[in-house]
Structure 1
Amino acid sequence: MNFINPLSKLISHPFLGTATPSEYSPIVLTGVLLSLIVVYIASKLGGEISRKIDLPPVLGELVAGVIVGASALHLLVFPEGGAEASNSVVIGLLQFINNLTPDAATSIFEAQSEVVSVLAEIGVIILLFEIGLESDLKELQKVGYQATVVACVGVAVPFIAGTVGLVYFFHFPVIPAIFAGAALTATSIGITSKVLSEIGQLKSREGQIIVGAAVIDDILGIIVLAVVASLAKTGEVDIVNVIYLIVSATTFLIGSILLGKFFNKSFVGIADKLQTRGNIIIPALIFAFFMAFIGNAIHLEAILGAFAAGLVLDETDKRKELDEQVKPIADILVPIFFVTVGARVDLSVLNPAIPSNREGLFIAIFLIAIAIIGKFVTGWAVFGQPGINRIAIGVGMIPRGEVGLVFAGIGAASGVLDKPLQAAIIMMVILTTFIAPPLLRVAFKEPAEPQKPVEKPVDGVTDS
């Protein structure tokens, strides 16, 4: 996904003939602006209503996205979800105002959707950069081994249970079952970390374990996705690619954090020498985007690079100033991500009146149960942490969000998933994404495990 695509589509599309990009660029821009108006109104209304009923604002943004998206108002729809230009209210308005041909409307719809998608991707990069800044690297390192265990359990349990269950109970072929099982492994770090930040638990022991596990879970998810994608294409796993992903992911995260210790002084020195506005935020964004670029370039995720950049800069003397300067940027871009996640969801797959959905509903019930239980048990994978809130950790790992939708999309595009199984995966993603934020808030209100009583010294003698 890149910024050149929308323009190149307009230039290369055959219906345009000799038209110059400048003739259609204003229409694409108008569509993007209308889409952003929809996004911001939806995010504010959803967030405010959610806050009034004591729920995380991010949940309100997701629900608002569903309302304005493919499930209801069709104000914000995307071609990759199967929508056409005729399904978009925004494109219909542009078509009426500019007297566009159907072919022109289609091309403009694709270009406008691509731009909004790019903005959403930048939004999630900024979100993970902000989360990295708010995280404490020292605390994260303390729970590193715990987070690794939680992540491994959270990937292995739902993957094995989902795959085996689909093969033995629903008689699916092995490859589609493996693909669906892989879709159960993902955890949406964006959604969970945002909720943790909103309820003031991001720096708690539980919050650090959840965030650390979600990052590792994302890496494991990428590796699993690479394995199942190669399996779908060739029927066999490319071992060399799997080894490459494991080595590059580990090297990237550890290396970026180690090198960051040397970068800290340079960053402060650069910021002090710059005299114009943005002397702190601009170098920080350059670093975050560079790290995101490296992550993408080595076939990992841009969000992992942004998160690592945030962790590194959290150690600098400029951290507090940087925290404050990132917030307005996040307020502008992050809502685009959450609203578009909701807008891409089509709740029509839940309609049992449609015969093709009924089979998917039964499969979905099974996948949802595995998705929730498979992540919930991760809270009991934590050891050596007396007084830890295991329920909160388990709940924090539940949401699949955009990551699960990526699995469903790739599976459908490759032809591995039939419609009932694809619908079931989408339902699983919807439910886990929406139930996790309110459950996480409730979980942190629950008392943690009682601390072990400290034995009082007897006769003035203490244990050495």
Structure 2
Amino acid sequence: MGHLPKLIEDLALILIAGALVTLLFRKIKQPLVLGYIIAGFLVSPHFIFTPNVVDQENVKTLADIGVIFLLFSLGLEFSFKKLVRVGGTASITAFTEIIFITVAGYCTGKLMGWNTMDSMFLGGMLASSSTTIILRAFDELGVKTKQFARIVFGVLIVEDIVVILLMVLLSTIAVTKNFEGTQILFTVLKLLFFLGMWFIVGIFLLPTFLRVARKLLDEETLLILALGLCLGMVVLATQVGFSAELGAFVMGSIMAETTLAEKVEHQIKPVKDLFGAVFFVSVGMMIDPKAIAAYGVPILIVTLLTVLGKLISTTIGALISGQPLKQSVQVGMSMAQIGEFAFIVATLGLSLGVISEFLFPIAVGASALTTFSTPYLIKFSEPFYNRLAKLLPVKWVQKLNRYATSTQQIQAESDWKIVLKTYLRIIVTNTIILIALLLLCKNFLLPFVAARVENGQLRNSIILVFALAIAAPFFWAFMAGKPKSQAYKELWVDKKYNKGPLLIVEMLRLTLGILFIAFYVNLLVPARIALFAGIPITILVIVIFSSRIQRFYQRMERRFMRNLNERELVAAEATTVEDTLQSKNREMGSNMETWDAHIVEMEVNPQATAIGVALKNLRWREQFGINIVYIRRGEKIIHTPGRDNRLLPFDRVGILATDEQVAAFKPVFDAKEVMGEELTNITDIVLQKVLVDEHTQLRGFTIHNSGIREKTNGLVVGIEKEKERILNPESSTVLEWGDIVWVVGDRKKLQRLIVD
């Protein structure tokens, strides 16, 4: 290669600078993202003391690829089922925080005189918190096992998906310049439709394909396939009017439901790290120190808005969801920072050319300040609560905690609620599929047949037969598919009160199905044909071939459900005792939220003072209010151990308690048997001989009464007498003049014994 392209030189500069700066940041225990951003500033034209990147356009392209792979990787960690398992507490908390901070960000931008798009993107940038920073702070402070941390993790999951949707809305509004409510509503419905369609089709096809091709997929082929699917969905998403980031995220979340998800995540990590580093370095290249200095006041305002706004809104959201005041405060103070998504949202706005360049330095400055403040906010969240509880009227605190208790108790779902949710799922799922089929027929089948068949009646007949043939199973499910739940069976058996309402629901569903058929057929063929031929024939075919259509649909449904639950089925086959325990712990912890309690597993130290002592004699329940739910000893589990059970070294003990009880009990649980300080060093332990003479004054004593063990922390292992040698002598052996006693003990204490 005679001439080295500038892109290669720039890439070398970016990676070397990024590596050196992040090494420093790892040393000082700061987030690597900030290190990459600072590295970008160092190689930018704004910093004149180091070499600068020249080919910025190509670097921008690499940065765009980095965003795509970052979102794909996020999708792999996400999975739609994880969102379903998050629960109401995290969802309510997240939505309260996002709505508040987004609106507050927009209003703050307008108050500072910014234009509408700048203000809207500011709100979007503030909507997410940083998973990386929170996890690092939780690890350093040792609070990952606390109850509030579990809620924070759930909120972060909800935030990720909501911010993706916000990005789509912002990009749509930016392109169309349309702020009308109807247009935004149409965009939301369109987005939800395509998300549902991609998810259903992806789950139906992708796991099956991967299962068939599994034996042929080595690491290299799997990586190429995963990247190809990611970029293919990116192209598809942009073709239907959405962002590339959404496409990457959706493909990642679909692949997250397959059994190869972890393997793909492992394979994609080096690619994500490489291009992600280029993206964050490119963010730093856009920082202008003059701009940061010029916008120091807005940076401070945005920082205060982030910290106070997120703290207050997240706390209120947690309170509304039914959490006690203490946990709500702790959740709120954990979420008060700007996440990495802020840079992605800002990059999106710049690439669309709809926001001002000063938003970047403001985002970077506020992100840096909130990053450094996060560990301190989490650390002092409990003292802050204690202070707040003293300042607030006692009645207020009591009412808030009573509200939390009453809210947690409203959890049981009635049979009717379960059945209606099942009906809704059947209708929504099949509606999405039918609309997708209608769009395919209208956009592809109609033009294809029209170009090849001139006879109008024949053309309409072909279109009608083909379209209804592929749609018939889903129309049957829409109108006649029964919920497969125990709740439905129980309602149907109780005919006196439930059969009438159930029949009304069925009639409404049938009516909606017939109207849907009319709408479907009318869009494909002329109205007269639809009314007199299409609709009656469709209904007749569905009635006559109902059993066959039902069997065909049920086969597809079983295949879909098998693909959807494949990871859980495979995991269940390989479930270990620990996996089962963790699952049970989560389940019991969720059920005990009303009591502000959860299960913490602790390991018994081999030197613990509690070893060998009956649980009834430890009196832990009476003293600390905790309960031992199980004791895990290897692969064996002692469920609800009795009063006479004892702990052994390395037992893992499941303890049901509140955060306060755990904090008070842990020092007692971890207490170790007191040992001589000098014996902590193995080099001080020696085998030494001791002569029984006038100096040692051991004559006439038995080994037991001689005090050798107490004086030397030692053990008598042998005695040499005139006519014999005794190995491991009995403690009743009498010492005589001239006996040589061999002792294993502490060097210094043995020396003192001999000298004395």
Q: Do the two structures share a fold, i.e. TM-score over 0.5? A: yes
Residues 120 and 334 of structure 1 are in contact (CA less than 8 Å); yes or no, is this contact kept in structure 2? yes
Query: Is the alpha carbon distance of 1:156 and 1:244 closer, same or farther for their aligned partners in structure 2, counting shifts above 3 Å?
Result: same
Query: Distance between the aligned counterparts of 2:176 and 2:49, measured in 1?
Result: 35
1:297-316 → structure 2 map (5 Å cutoff): 297-316=239-258
Determine the C-alpha separation between the residues in 1 that align with 2:235 and 2:128.
18
Correspondence for 2:331: 390
**What TM-score, normalized by structure 2, do the two folds share?**
0.43
1:314 offset after TM fit, Å? 2.1
- Conserved in 1, the CA contact under 8 Å of 2:339 and 2:367? yes
1:122 aligned to which of 65, 69, 80: 65
Q: Which residue of 1 aligns with 2:262?
A: 320
User: SS of the residue aligned with 2:120?
Assistant: helix
Cα shift at 1:230: 4.8
More relative contact order in 1 or in 2 (CA 8 Å, sep 6+)? 1
1:56 is aligned, of 17, 31, 41, to 31
In the alignment, is the contact (CA less than 8 A) between 2:79 and 2:254 conserved in 1? no
Change (3 A) 1:132 1:253: same
- Which of 210, 215, 219 pairs up with 2:161? 215
Relative distance call for 1:152 and 1:40 in structure 2 (3 A) is: same
% identical equivalent positions: 21
The one of 343, 361, 373 equivalent to 2:308 is 373
Give the counterpart letter for 2:301 in structure 1.
F
Match for residue 46 of structure 2?
Answer: 71
Whichever of the two has the greater Rg, that structure is 2
What displacement does 1:446 show? 6.5
Shift of 1:432: 2.7
The alignment's C-alpha RMSD in Å is 3.9
> Which of 225, 245, 250 is the matching residue for 1:283?
225
Q: Deviations over 1:332-386 (max 9, x none)?
A: 22211111111112121133xxxxx4xx544554344334433443422232456
Question: Within the alignment, does 1:157 sit opposite 2:118 as a pair?
Answer: no
1:264·1:315 contact (CA, 8 Å) conserved in 2? Answer: no
Deviation at 1:262, TM superposition (A): 1.9
Cα drift, residue 266 of structure 1: 2.0
Structure 1 residue 346 corresponds to structure 2 residue 288: yes
Amino acid corresponding to residue 394 of structure 1 in structure 2? M
Runs of at least 5 residues in structure 2 that lack an aligned partner in the other structure: 387-592, 598-624, 628-756
Provide the C-alpha distance between the structure 2 equivalents of 1:127 and 1:166, rounded to a whole number of angstroms. 28
Distance 1:314 1:214, change over 3 A: closer
Distance 1:259 1:330, change over 3 A: same
Cα separation, 1, equivalents of 2:337 and 2:151: 13
**AA at the equivalent of 1:138:** K
Runs of 5+ unmatched residues, structure 1: 1-24, 76-87, 92-111, 352-356, 458-464
* Structure 2 equivalent of residue 432 of structure 1: 366
Tell me whether 1:37 sits opposite 2:37 in the alignment.
no
Written as runs of structure 1 = structure 2, the 5 A alignment for 1:105-184 is 112-135=55-78, 137-143=80-86, 149-150=92-93, 152-164=95-107, 172=113, 176-184=114-122
- TM-score, normalised via structure 1 length: 0.67
In structure 2, the residue corresponding to 1:185 is in which secondary structure?
helix
2:182 is the alignment partner of 1:244: no
Count of aligned positions: 375
* Greater strand fraction, Structure 1 or Structure 2: 2
More helix by share: 1
**1:124 Cα offset (Å):** 1.8
Could you report, residue by residue, the CA deviation over 1:289-327 in whole angstroms, capped at 9, with x for unpaired residues?
222223333333322222222222222222232222112
Q: Distance in 2 between matches of 1:258 and 1:393?
A: 35
Compared with structure 1, are the counterparts of its residues 275 and 198 closer, same or farther at alpha carbon in structure 2 (3 Å cutoff)?
same
Amino acid at match of 2:335: G
Deviation of 1:245 (Å) = 2.0
Q: 1:318 to 1:194 in 2, by over 3 A?
A: same
Determine helix, strand or coil for the equivalent of 2:124: coil
The aligned counterpart of 1:78 is: none
Q: Which amino acid aligns with 1:344?
A: M
Q: Does structure 2 retain, via aligned residues, the 8 Å contact 1:182–1:225? A: no
Instruction: Provide the C-alpha distance between the structure 2 equivalents of 1:212 and 1:370, rounded to a whole number of angstroms.
Output: 21
Shift of 1:52: 0.8
Contact preservation (8 Å) 2:108, 2:119 = no
